Copies of this chain bind each other. A is one copy, B any other.
């Protein structure tokens, strides 16, 4: 495959050591769980270990052997994208050929096999299970997510670049924002600007039925319209078929305009939210906005490595309760979700999750997006979303755009 020079130069390849380290950490994980080998199919995980998301599967064993990247389509691209000296890239016509290789490698006899059961489909699993015969299958979905939750310096550098994109977008939203335009129209202006900046068109969220829009633009009452997603703010969307995100509602003066936006670099994303308003927000919403800000400031000055997400969540709820806004926090009543922050990286819903029910220790170089948001029926939503890197004795902000309400 002959690649244009300008494209080859713009594609970023992680350092070779980076991929070596990821694979070696995964091998340690396999060993610690007595898993003999794993077959990886989910494109995000393929990318994490190989820097390539071509169609096929990756075999990683618990011993010193190189990973095998079996590729159906397209082999030339896979070879170009990964490091062929670290990873054996092998062309296959059908997935079933993988089992012949497994047999040849002595990996078909009473082994424990790791599979991404949270990602592959049921029917694919049923077929795999037949081919793997009497081998024991172990779910590795969450193990890989945990591995991915701690970012390397290379990954943090990608996410810092992604953050520059959201900073830039927030800074130019006021130049588009006009009374009477639809939410979708504002979303379109932001999308046009995003493409100029090179933002990827696909922002990933893992999990069945999970979909998203980028940007997520909600104005006034839209911010208070609930829907299916495990998110604090949903919006009308353009129809019942999409049921989230920007709609044909026209933007008015003196209502909160939520812009939730993910920048990207090389697959890595950030995820921040700011509130815009034409004129001034109603008092009740402005007050809630300042409570969001108080929460962000509390987190920024108190949270660090070693803290438990559950405790952080409890402390945040205390602030919300102090202002008597529990029914409005992260959705309204039945629409409330029980987390306040989620990890980011290659997808929008990684670990850690800072939530009611999750006993999760924050570790150095985890990155999370914290989004205290308040919903007021008929009026809309306000809140802030900010990305933080967990450091030994503090948090480090990923982006630099100010946290104030942007009044136009």
A266 touching B239, Cβ below 8 Å: yes
Is A248 touching B7 in the complex (CB atoms < 8 A)?
A: yes
A22 to chain B, nearest CB (A): 14
Q: How many whole Å from A145's CB to the nearest CB in chain B?
A: 13
**In terms of DSSP, what is the predominant structure of the interface of chain A?**
loop
Asked if A209 and B122 sit within 8 Å, CB to CB, the answer is no
Residues on B with beta carbons closer than 8 Å to the beta carbon of A52: 240, 243
Query: Are A53 and B228 in contact (CB-based, < 8 A)?
Result: yes
Known A-B contacts A184-B196, A213-B202; the reply to A77 vs B43 at CB < 8 A is no
Distance (whole angstroms) from the CB of A54 to the closest CB of chain B = 5
Whether a CB of chain B sits under 8 angstroms from the CB of A135 is: no
Give the interface size bracket for A toward B.
35 or more
Judging by beta carbons under 8 Å apart, are A241 and B188 in contact?
Answer: no
Residues of B within 8 A of A238 (CB): 198-201, 264
A191 within 8 A of B: yes
Interchain CB contact under 8 A, B248 and A10: yes
Report B-chain residues with C-beta under 8 Å of the C-beta of A188: 191-196
Q: Are A208 and B266 in contact (CB under 8 A)?
A: no
Taken together as a complex, chains A and B put the C-alpha atoms of A202 and B211 apart, in Å, by 8
Asked if A6 is an interface residue, CB under 8 A from chain B, the answer is yes
User: A201: which of B13, B139, B245 is its contact (CB, 8 Å)?
Assistant: B245
In this assembly, does A308 line the interface, its C-beta being within 8 Å of a C-beta of chain B?
A: no
Q: Is B202 a contact of A242 with CB atoms below 8 Å?
A: yes
Q: In the bound complex, what is the Cα–Cα distance between A326 and B372 (angstroms)? A: 57
Binary interface profile of A, 206-241, with partner B (CB < 8 Å = 1, else 0)? Answer: 011101111000000100011111100010111111
Which of A24-32, A112-120, A311-319, A352-360 lies at the interface? A112-120
Asked if A74 is at the interface of the complex by the 8 Å CB criterion, the answer is: yes
Q: Which residue of B lies closest to A336 (CB)?
A: B73
Q: Is the CB of A121 within 8 A of B123?
A: no
Q: How far is the CA of A126 from the CA of B378 in the complex (A)?
A: 41
Can you name 12 A-B pairs with beta carbons within 8 Å?
A7-B247, A7-B249, A13-B240, A43-B209, A53-B241, A74-B227, A81-B243, A117-B122, A122-B125, A200-B237, A201-B214, A201-B246
Known: A73-B230, A121-B207. 10 other contacts (CB 8 A): A3-B236, A73-B334, A118-B123, A119-B121, A120-B208, A122-B122, A122-B124, A204-B211, A239-B266, A241-B268
The 3 closest A-B pairs by CB, nearest first: A241-B267, A188-B195, A122-B125
